[in-house]
C-alpha cells in the first residue's frame, strides 16, 4: 500500500471526491493526507474527510497566506491539532519565489508553526521554495532554543544542502511528481542518497502531475508513478518502496498509526 502524504483534496468538488478516493484506492494508494493552508480552510478539513476512514488532514497557514490574518499562536495551532483526524501541522515555511507575504511575516508564521507542532507532538509539514538558507537557519534556531521536533520537507525540490541539513536534524524528505520530470536529474541524485528510513512520497495534487500525466490535474492515484521512479532511483521494486514509504509515514505521523 502507498500513502499520499500531501495532497489538497478540498480543491476537488464534494461530488468529485468519492471518485478521486476510489481511483486512488484502485491504484494501491490506501491513505491520503489533505493539507491545511489557512486557519479558516484548516478548520473545515475534519468535516471534509469525516466520511472517509482512510483520509487524514493537517492544519496550518501556508506562507502565501501568512499576512492575510494575524499569525496564529502555537497554542491555537496545538489545540486545532488535538482533533483525532489531524495528524500534523502545516503546511508552513518560506516561499521567496512568489513572495506573496512579507518575509518577516513568513518567518514569524513559520516559527509559530514549529512551536505549535512541538506543543502538539505532531510533525510539521514544511513548504520551502527559494529559501533554503533561511529554512535551515530557522530550523536550527528553533531546535536549539526549544528542543527537537518532528518535520518533513514536503514536495522537495530544493538543493542538496537543505536536504542534508534537514536530515541531520532528524527530518524526513518527501518527493512529488517533480521527481519524474526529465530535467530533474539533480533531484533524483538527491533522492538516491536520502536514508531509506527518511523517504516519503506525495502528489501535492492537484498540482505537479507526474510523467506521463504532466500538465493535467493531479490526483492521489498518481503517487504510484512517483513511487515507481523512486524505486528505479533506489534500485528497489515498487512494492518495496510502497512498504518502505508507508512504514516511514507511520513512524513520522504517529497518530495515523494508532
- Per-residue tens of pLDDT for the chain, all 258 residues: 999 999 999 999 999 999 999 999 999 999 999 999 999 999 999 999 999 999 999 999 999 999 999 999 999 999 999 999 999 999 999 999 999 999 999 999 999 999 999 999 999 999 999 999 999 999 999 999 999 999 999 999 999 999 999 999 999 999 999 999 999 999 999 999 999 999 999 999 999 999 999 999 999 999 999 999 999 999 999 999 999 999 999 999 999 986
Q: Is 251 exposed, middle or buried (0-12, 13-18, 19+ CB in 10 A)?
A: middle
Q: Domains in the chain: how many in total?
A: 1
pTM over 0.75: yes
CA 223, chain centre distance (Å): 13
26, 221 Cβ separation under 8 angstroms: yes
**Alpha carbons 170 and 47: distance in angstroms, whole number:** 32
Domain of 116 in residue numbering reads as: 2-257
**Alpha carbons 233 and 54: distance in angstroms, whole number:** 29
- Residue 161, Cβ neighbours under 10 Å: how many? 11
- Would you give the DSSP letter of residue 69? S
CA 130, chain centre distance (Å): 17
CA 3, chain centre distance (Å): 11
21, 32 Cβ separation under 8 angstroms: yes
**Alpha carbons 67 and 76: distance in angstroms, whole number:** 17
What pLDDT does 257 receive?
A: 86
**Integer angstrom CA distances of residue 196 from 8, 161, 162, 210:** 26, 18, 17, 22
**Integer angstrom CA distances of residue 218 from 56, 67, 158, 232, 238:** 18, 28, 21, 21, 20
Query: Scanning the structure block, which residue is given the C-alpha cell 489533505?
Result: 34
Report the CATH number that the domain containing residue 214 is assigned in CATH: 3.20.20.140
Q: Which residues pair with 4 in a beta bridge?
A: 32
Amino acid at each position: 500500500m502507498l500513502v499520499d502524504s500531501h495532497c489538497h483534496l478540498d480543491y476537488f468538488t464534494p461530488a468529485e471526491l468519492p471518485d478521486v478516493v476510489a481511483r486512488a484506492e484502485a491504484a494501491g494508494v490506501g491513505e491520503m493526507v489533505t493539507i491545511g493552508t489557512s486557519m479558516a480552510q484548516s478548520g473545515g478539513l475534519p468535516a471534509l474527510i469525516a466520511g472517509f476512514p482512510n483520509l487524514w488532514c493537517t492544519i496550518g497557514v501556508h506562507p502565501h497566506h501568512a499576512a492575510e490574518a494575524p499569525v496564529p499562536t502555537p497554542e491555537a495551532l496545538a489545540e486545532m491539532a488535538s482533533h483525532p483526524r489531524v495528524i500534523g501541522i502545516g503546511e508552513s515555511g518560506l516561499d521567496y519565489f512568489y513572495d506573496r507575504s512579507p518575509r518577516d511575516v513568513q518567518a514569524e508564521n513559520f516559527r509559530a508553526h514549529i512551536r505549535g507542532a512541538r506543543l502538539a507532538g505532531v510533525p510539521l509539514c514544511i513548504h520551502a521554495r527559494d529559501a533554503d538558507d533561511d529554512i535551515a537557519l530557522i530550523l536550527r534556531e528553533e531546535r536549539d532554543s526549544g528542543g527537537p521536533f518532528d518535520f518533513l520537507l514536503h514536495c522537495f525540490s530544493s538543493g542538496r544542502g537543505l536536504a542534508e541539513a534537514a536530515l541531520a536534524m532528524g527530518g524526513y524528505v518527501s518527493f512529488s511528481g517533480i521527481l519524474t520530470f526529465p530535467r530533474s536529474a539533480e533531484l533524483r541524485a538527491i533522492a538516491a542518497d536520502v536514508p531509506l528510513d527518511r523517504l516519503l512520497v506525495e502528489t501535492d495534487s492537484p498540482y505537479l502531475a507526474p510523467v506521463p500525466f504532466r500538465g493535467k490535474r493531479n490526483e492521489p492515484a498518481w503517487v504510484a508513478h512517483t513511487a515507481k521512479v523512486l524505486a528505479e532511483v533506489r534500485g528497489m521494486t515498487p512494492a518495496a518502496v510502497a512498504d518502505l514509504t508507508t512504514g516511514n509515514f507511520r513512524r513520522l505521523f504517529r497518530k495515523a498509526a494508532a
